[in-house]
Structure 1
Amino acid sequence: MIKGADNLQKKLDEMYRCNLKNAIQIGITLVQDAAKMNCPVHDGELRSKIMTDVTEQGDNTTGACWSAAAHGTCVELGTGPKGQSEHEGISPNITVAYTQSAWWIPEGSGDDGIDRETAELYHFPYIDTPNGRFYHCSGQAAQPFLYPALKNNEEKIVEIIKEEVKGQL
């Protein structure tokens, strides 16, 4: 038995966890930066709401990057018939169920409506009714920005983790 081996092992474990968390934070920030650079921008909300978090649970350290914007998933994966036909670049590890028919969006602000400027930007056809203007939408093509940000940086993240941990040894 080696005197002090338990204390040494405890120190090594603490050092490893600390460096691993730091490495994952650096790696997930790299993903966040890439996602912000690659996301489509209309008013900047989507870009400003790309978030990250690093959590430790037991022996596991996890980094996550996601969009907190309500429309982030729709942009990443696409919507409707158009999204189903144009979804190249999304994660192959998820299965998306797209609605098969077009829909009408009322003009207005809030979660249920669309403002006129945005509808015109996307060239949505419309009808005027006694209940207001409604825009016809058959969905949007996927514009992946999160998955490619991770996939295109996998090797860099592995190197960051290796270097961080190696630096302490």
Structure 2
Amino acid sequence: MGVQIKGLDSLNSKLKRIPKTLENATWDATFEITEEVQSRATAKLQSSIKHGSGELAGSLKNEVLVNKNGHVVGRVWSDNPNLLFRELGTGQVGENSPKDLPEGINPVYTQTPWFIPADAVDVDLEAVYGMVKINIQGKDYYRTNGQPARPSLYPALKEGVENYEEVYKKYVKQGLREELK
């Protein structure tokens, strides 16, 4: 007389699906976190830009993918170079402004002032940012030593991942619960 375990085939089938279930849960949790970081960064930009069209805040993107090592990776970024200038600051002013940078990020700043042709911008930079307007050979320019850092993306990242353990736990529990029904 042999022993028969009812449901063993079903249990084995469910156990074989656990790695994929965990990968899916990890992907979903990472997606939620990247969405949160993007949302926070957008809000920070929108609340701090007085003279803008929303183009910079609208340029933020996110993605989740599985990298070549098989790890789930979430990314939030902008292809607009102005976000980098805003995040880190520019020139001597940017270098001397307070900022919290990730380890290994060591920007190099221009140490000499530069000039912006007045006809190349659609706002009065003297009124908006206090840049001195000067006339050189009949043409108006704004002189600047740079702009301060006004970070949005890195602070949003730090805030957005504060509760990451709970987010991953929620998705793993949910995935396993559904898989092992």
TM-score category, normalised to shorter length: 0.7 to 0.9
**Aligned partners of 2:32, 2:75: CA distance in 1, in Å?**
12
Report whether the alignment pairs 1:26 with 2:36: no
Structure 2: stretches of 5+ with no match in the other structure: 1-7, 177-181
Structure 2 residue identity aligned to 1:55? L
Percentage of pairs with the same residue:
28
**Aligned partners of 2:138, 2:163: CA distance in 1, in Å?**
54
Report whether the alignment pairs 1:86 with 2:89: no
Quick check: 76-85 or 66-75, which moved more? 66-75
Partner of 2:60: 50
The two structures have a TM-score, normalised by structure 1, of: 0.85
> 1:27-86 CA deviation, whole Å, 9 max, x = no partner?
111111111121232312211112111111252111111123230000000110001100
Cα distance, 1:93–1:6 mapped onto 2, change above 3 Å: farther
Structure 1 residue identity aligned to 2:79? A
Structure 2 residue identity aligned to 1:152? E
Count residues in correspondence. 164
Question: In the alignment, which of 138, 145, 148 is matched to residue 138 of structure 1?
Answer: 145
Structure 1: stretches of 5+ with no match in the other structure: none
Cα distance, 1:80–1:66 mapped onto 2, change above 3 Å: same
> 1:118-154 CA deviation, whole Å, 9 max, x = no partner?
5531121122234632110111111111111111232
**Aligned partners of 2:101, 2:56: CA distance in 1, in Å?**
17
Question: In the alignment, which of 7, 10, 18 is matched to residue 12 of structure 1?
Answer: 18
> Highest CA radius of gyration, 1 or 2?
2
Structure 1 residue identity aligned to 2:145? S
The two structures have a TM-score, normalised by structure 2, of: 0.80
**Aligned partners of 1:116, 1:65: CA distance in 2, in Å?**
30
Name the SS of the counterpart of 2:66 in structure 1: strand
Question: In the alignment, which of 65, 89, 99 is matched to residue 110 of structure 2?
Answer: 99
**Aligned partners of 2:63, 2:80: CA distance in 1, in Å?**
16
Cα distance, 1:6–1:93 mapped onto 2, change above 3 Å: farther
